[in-house]
A = this chain, B = another copy of it.
Amino acid sequence: MLKTRFTEEFGIEHPIAQGGMQGVGLAELVAPVANAGALGFLTALTQPTPEDLAKEIERTRGMTDKPFGVNLTVLPTINPVPYDEYVDAIIAGGIKIVETAGRSPEPYMAKFKEYGVKVIHKCTSVRHALKAESVGVHGISIDGFECAGHPGEDDIPGLILIPAAANKLKIPMIASGGFGDGRGLAAALMLGADGINMGTRFLATREAPIHQNMKDQLVKSDERDTALIYRSMRNTARVFKNAIAQEVVELEKKGAEFKDIQHLVAGVRGRAAMKDGEVDGGIWTAGMITGLINDIPSVQELVERIVAEAEEIISAKQKLIA
């Protein structure tokens, strides 16, 4: 057992979170994460309506007695999203931990606090972390360049970003991006984090609700098998480096605008491809940790192994001190 400020503040057994994973943060994954003693998050916007989110919270509660959270990612969208109603569904569902991302959680903090909901804000820079701390969040998930999805535009890896943030924050902080094993957890603690958040690593578990082909691909891939797309639009996303992703990168290099690549990257195509197991059929996110994924354990096996490995490594290095 590793006890940190994160496990204490949020009442979780292990210092491991499974943060927002669009399309994947469903009861099938979140419940086993909770049962394993880690902190899983349903992804609010994976549910088409606030009512569906309420049902998904209930469905998850039917599968675990342990605490779990909901991720609320606020992004600019073409069609307006009823964020306030998602917030109401979270509160009505009795959720006590929310992961926010995308924009500052400031507009929702008063309501969350009123109902005793603790907020972990995920962000990719020290300045955004400090801003979130100043508006009263309870924890930070600091997300480095290695991560799947949106790493921001600063390109600061965890090795630098984690201590830079730890030096300035007072509240608990978990490290995100590039984590998936006991070495990483031990390193994150040394760098000043109180735990880790994992996304891609949880994709390669027996319970993750994605096609087996995607899981097998994560095992096969190495650390060079991700690509950054949308860089030219300052909306960078790290995705699995398949033929489509490489085509997008090349088109962007040649100055293509979003309208020129839209047919390649439409999110629905990626999600359909993931569902059908077509690893080359669309754009899907994967973080650099894919290079360190070598098996597809159960969530429980994964969480227990990571903690045990981290403990073993810390104890072994303690013995180097003469």
Contact of A192 among B157, B183, B192 (CB under 8 A): B183
CB <8 Å contact, A190 and B1 = no
Most B C-beta atoms less than 10 A away, residue of A190, A223, A289, A292: A190
- Over the window 304-322 of chain A, the binary record of Cβ atoms lying under 8 Å from chain B Cβ atoms (1 yes, 0 no) is 0000000101110110111
CB <8 Å contact, B159 and A159 = yes
Contact of A3 among B1, B145, B320 (CB under 8 A): B320
- Decide: A223 near B164, CB < 8 A? Known: A157-B157, A157-B158: yes
CB <8 Å contact, A157 and B144 = yes
Residues in B with CB closer than 8 Å to A3 are 320, 322
Closest-by-CB residue of B relative to A154 is B224
Closest-by-CB residue of B relative to A2 is B320
CB <8 Å contact, B184 and A163 = yes
A191 at the interface (CB under 8 A from B): yes
A291 nearest CB across to chain B (Å): 5
Most B C-beta atoms less than 10 A away, residue of A154, A157, A161, A313: A157
A288 at the interface (CB under 8 A from B): yes
CB <8 Å contact, A146 and B164 = no
A242 at the interface (CB under 8 A from B): no
A181 at the interface (CB under 8 A from B): yes
Total residues of chain A contacting the partner, CB 8 A:
48
CB <8 Å contact, A4 and B163 = no
CB <8 Å contact, A320 and B160 = no
A276 nearest CB across to chain B (Å): 29
CB <8 Å contact, A183 and B157 = no
- State in angstroms the CA–CA spacing of A167 and B99 once bound together: 33
Residues in B with CB closer than 8 Å to A322 are 1-3
Contact of A178 among B157, B167, B222 (CB under 8 A): B157
Contact of A163 among B2, B156, B192, B292 (CB under 8 A): B292
Q: List 24 A-B contacts (CB under 8 A).
A: A1-B321, A1-B322, A3-B320, A3-B322, A126-B223, A144-B157, A146-B159, A154-B223, A154-B224, A157-B158, A157-B159, A159-B159, A159-B177, A159-B178, A160-B178, A160-B223, A160-B291, A164-B291, A183-B190, A184-B191, A190-B190, A190-B313, A190-B314, A318-B318
Task: Given A163-B184, A167-B292, output 8 extra A-B contacts at Cβ < 8 Å.
Answer: A2-B322, A4-B320, A144-B157, A146-B157, A187-B187, A189-B320, A190-B190, A314-B317
